[in-house]
Amino acid sequence: MIDAVLRAFGMAFAMGWQILWPLVLGFALSAVVQAVVSHREMARLLPDDRPGSIATALALGAASSSCSYAAVALARSLFRKGADFTAAMAFEMASTNLVLELGIIMLAFLGWQLTLAELVGAPIMVGLLILLFRRFLNRELLEEAKVQADRGVKGRMEGHAEMDMFVTEGGSLWQRLTSERGLTAISHYFVMDWAAVWLDIVGGLLIAGALAAWVPDEFWRSFFIVDHPLLATLWGPIVGPLVAVISFVCSVGNIPLAAVLWNGGISFGGVIAFIFADLIVLPILNIYRKYYGWRMAGFLFATFYAAMAAAALIVELIFGALGLVPAQRNARVVEASITWDYTTWFNIAFLILAGLLVWRFLKTGGPAMLRMMNMPAAMGPSH
């Protein structure tokens, strides 16, 4: 028993070591983008569900934090400030499926084909969601959700979602980013984003390590119907989101588990559907209930699930027709080891970068704001 536990921890540590520098790089790039993209104008830019507004929602979401809870909280804030509900949900989906750090981690764990499939599939998923909303979202349900949203019931990461340290003055983009205020904003976004998702990352690594160490390949092959390719193709996008719902892991934290599922035999589309489904895990469904009421929470689960599964199946069919589905399942699920290779050197270099950003965060009032992350924006510090 002790050996099994140690092996699970060892595999979790090994996976964490492999993705350490990509994580730091991803969050640093995300912090830079957030420092030059203001939240203040978002609601104004999302007035309806026309293609222009949806494209803007996708771009704004891709430039925001990857934290699922922050994305959900910010989407409600935009809705309360006048943004179209459909556009706010498109923004929410882009925030967790098109952000830089997700793509970097997917590339490190799953390879370029699945990373590209995620980037192609996310807009397809949003398009399907818009069609479902136009067909089934009635005015009564929307008004009921608006009344509940305006009550301002506390969810999670409220303060983080409203954090806006947009740097406007200082000349060129480079001058703004390297100014005192720009560096401070980058350091604050960097640390806040880490604080928002570290539990999901650690949880995902531990779950992935345990499943990789303890669950035999025979179970995965049976569960994902590997011996029946056609059925497996249909089954994967259906079961992928359901596995995500009960895993409680969201944001970039579900990528290690996705690697385990991929190696275990889930279909190409099943992996994509699992990654898409971080916005319908049980804790977030409960937040939807608080934000919009029971009926809208159920509606969001049903429509999100349908859009995620259908988009994942479409992506698998497209990539299969183009010959882009990998023949070998070689996701990075490795044993515990540290060697003096490029990963170790990159980890050292990016840990130094992270240390510098944390040092600036601590020196510029960051801890006080960190304590406000789970408070409503009105109670949090002013940025």
pLDDT, averaged in runs of 10, over the chain (383 residues): 79 78 78 69 83 93 76 84 92 88 86 94 96 96 92 64 60 76 88 78 80 81 90 94 80 82 91 93 88 95 97 97 87 59 85 94 86 57 43
Q: Residue 46 has which token pair?
A: 């999302």
The predicted structure's pLDDT at residue 375? 60
pLDDT for res 381? 43
205 found inside a domain: yes
Residue 383 falls inside a structural domain: no
Domain count, the chain: 1
What residue has token string 């494209």?
Answer: 55
Note whether residue 374 is domain-resident. Answer: yes
Q: What is the pLDDT of residue 197?
A: 72
Domain membership of residue 249 as a residue range: 2-378
What is the reported pLDDT for 169? 63
Residue 8 in any domain: the answer is yes
Give the pLDDT score at 157.
57
How many contiguous H segments (helices) and E segments (strands) does the chain have?
A: 20, 0
pTM: 0.79
pLDDT the model gives residue 189: 84
The pLDDT, as a whole number, for residue 298 is 96
Report pLDDT for 337: 56
How many CA atoms lie within 13 Å of 343's alpha carbon, on the beta-carbon side?
A: 13
